[in-house]
Amino acid sequence: MRAVAVGLLLTLLTGVARAAPAAESDPYAAVLIAPGERQLFLDDFIIGDLDRVSRVIHSPRKYPGNPVILPDLPTDGGTIQLRDAPSWDETEQVWKLWYYRMGEDGNGAGGPGFARSKDGIHWEKPILGLVESHGNRRNNLVTVKDDPKAFIQHVILDPRAAPERRYKGMIGPRDRQPLVSADGLVFTRLEVPAIPSQDESQLNWDEAAHRYILTVKHNGPFGRSVYLSLSPDFEHWTKPVWIYSADTQDQILSEEYLRGVEANPRMWRPTINEPREYNTEIYNMAVFRYEGLDIGLPNYFESTGRIPLPRGNQDGINSPKLACSRDLVAWTHVGDRRHFLPVSEMGPGVWDTGQIMASSHPIRHGDELWFYYSGLDVRHRPNVPRVSDEYRGAIHLAMLRLDGFVSLHAGSDEGFVDTRPVRLEGGRLFVNAVASGGRICAEITDREGRNVLPGWSAEQCTAGTGDHLRFELAWRGHELSELRGREVRIRIRLKDADLYSFWLEP
C-alpha cells in the first residue's frame, strides 16, 4: 500500500507539464512562456536581473462594510467561520457559500450553514427545513444523510462532475471523509478511507493538473505544520506528506511583531503574554493555482503563551502570510515575510482584531481578486462559561488588484527587470502596470542580455503611462511574431511605476 501511495503522489506531482523544474536546475536554460499565462514576481523564476527595482508585497484592502456575513441566526451562535471560497452556480446565477458555526443547540459546533448571494456582498441565509434545531426546522443548516450533526467543511461546486456528485465536501473536525451531493444541501459519505488530519485543512481543485489539493494539519518543526494529500478523483488520496512549517527566522520575526503589538494601544493584545513561551506555528495553509504558480496562504499562529487549564491550548494572533511554489514541494517565502492579511486595529464594529483565517482561494470579480476570510476578535477571552463564548467571529471580505500580489517598483531613477532567457511563441506583449506620472517600456535583447536587437530598443517601443490592467508594449515597424521561436530576453524598463505581471498573446 505504501508503494502505491507514493507512486500516486509522484504521478500527481508530475502530472502537469511545467517549465519550472528543469529550468530551475539550469538558470541559463530558456523558458517557454505559454501564450496567455501571466508571469508574476512572487519568486525569482522569470527574473534574470534587476536594476534599481524593488519587490513590493501588496495586501488586499479590506471591504469598508465588513463583516459581510454576521452570526445573526439562533443557530449561528456568537461565531461563524469559513475555510472555503464561495462557488459560482452558473445555472442559478448566484454565489453559494457554506460556513461553520459555533451554535450550541444540540447539533454541535460545525453544523454547517448555507448562504447565497447575487453580488458577493449581500448574502441571504435561506430556510432549508432539513435539520431540527431549537425545536424547529426553520434554519439554513445542511446535512449528511446518516449523520445530521456532522461537521461538514470544504464544499465546492464541481460543474464537470456527474449530477449526483456535483457538490463535493469533507466531514471533520478530525480526519477528513469525502462527501458528495447533488444539491449541496444533503450529502452522502463516500465509502473510502478518511484522510488523516488534525482539526484544520484546506481543499482546492487544480484545473491545470486535474487533481484535488488537500492540505491538512499535523505536527512538525516548531509545532503545527502543513501536510499535503492529492487525489485525481476525490476517492483515492495520497498519504499526507509534510510540505511547510515555520522556521527559525519566523520565530525571530514573530517575536519582533508580538512585542510591537504589545506596545501598540490600538491593537488587541493577547490575554496571556509570556515572552519565554513565544512560538510560531502554521495553523493551516490554503494552496491554490494561479497563472502557473501554486500560491500558499500559510496562516501564522504567533503564540504568546499557554492558556491556563481547564481550557488549555495557546493564546496569540493568527493571520496569513504569502508563499509560492512551482512543484508543491519547495516553497518560497514571498518578500520580507510580512503579513499578507494582517489583523485590524480595534474600533467600533471591527471583528477581525485577533485572528484571520483565509478561505481556500480568491475569486475573480471583475478586475479584482476577492478574498473571503474569517475574522475573530480575540484568541482567548478568560472567565467565560463556554468555549464557544471565548471569541466572536464573522465572515469578511478583502479585495486585491488582478495579479496584485507583488509588484516590481522603480522610483524616479529609471530601473529595469531583465527576464531570464525565454523562447518567444506569442506575437504580442502585454503588461499589468501602474505608471502614474511615470512610464513603462521594453526592449528585446539577445539571450545573454548584452545587446539590444536592432529594431527592438526601448526608444522604438510605445511607452505606457497611467494605470492599466492590460497595456500592449509594441515596437514601431515590427511585430513580435517576427521573433517567434528565438531565444531572447525581455527587458522591461520602469520609471515611477509598478509592474505586476506581463504575458504574451498570439
CB 443 within 8 A of CB 461: yes
Q: Report domain extents, the chain.
A: 33-58+408-505, 61-403
pTM value > 0.85: yes
**What is the 8-class DSSP label of residue 189?**
E
Residue tagged 501554486 (cell numbers)? 294
- The pLDDT of residue 323 is 98
Q: Name residue, grid cell 478586475.
A: 367
Residue 366 contacts by C-beta under 8 Å, 6 or more apart in sequence? none
pLDDT at 296 over 60: yes
Helix, strand, coil % in the chain, rounded to nearest 5: 10, 45, 45
Q: What is the DSSP letter of 367?
A: T
> Which of 92-106, 134-148, 237-251 has the highest mean predicted lDDT (pLDDT)?
237-251
Is the pLDDT assigned to residue 152 strictly greater than 50? yes
Tell me: pLDDT of 387 over 70: no
Nearest to 293 by CA among 339, 362, 216, 245: 362
Would you state the torsion angle of the CA atoms of residues 273, 274, 277, 281, taken in this order, to the nearest 10 degrees?
10
Residues 6 or more apart whose Cβ sits within 8 Å of residue 306:
272, 274, 277, 312, 313, 314, 315
The pLDDT of residue 9 is 60
Cα–Cα dist 273/287, whole Å: 31
Could you report the per-residue pLDDT of 329-367, keeping only the tens digit for each? Answer: 999 999 899 999 999 999 999 999 999 999 999 999 999
CB-based contacts of 222, cutoff 8 Å, min separation 6: 245, 246, 247, 250, 251, 279, 280, 281
Euclidean distance between CA atoms 383 and 394, whole angstroms: 22
User: Is pLDDT at 20 greater than 50 in this prediction?
Assistant: no
Model pLDDT, residue 151 = 86
**SS3 of 483, please?**
helix
Q: For residues 117 and 349, what is the distance between their CA atoms, to the nearest angstrom?
A: 22
Segment 13-18 shows an average pLDDT of 46
- Rounded to 10 degrees, what is the CA torsion of 219, 308, 339, 361? 60
For the stretch 33-89, pLDDT in tens is 889 999 999 999 999 999 999 999 999 999 999 999 999 998 998 899 999 999 999
Calpha distance 343→351 (Å, rounded) = 9
Query: In angstroms, what CA-CA distances link 362 with 51, 87, 221, 400, 430?
Result: 32, 11, 29, 9, 23
| Residue 463 in this model has a pLDDT that exceeds 70 | yes
**Residue 384 clears pLDDT 60, i.e. is over it:** yes
Indicate the SS3 state at residue 312.
Answer: coil
The CATH number given to 33-58+408-505 is 2.60.120
Each residue of 304-328: pLDDT tens digit? 999 988 778 999 999 999 999 999 9
pLDDT at 10 over 70: no
pLDDT of residue 133: 87
CATH number of 61-403: 2.115.10.20
Average confidence (pLDDT) over 158-169: 95
Give how far Cα 156 sits from Cα of 87, 145, 178, 360, Å: 6, 18, 12, 10
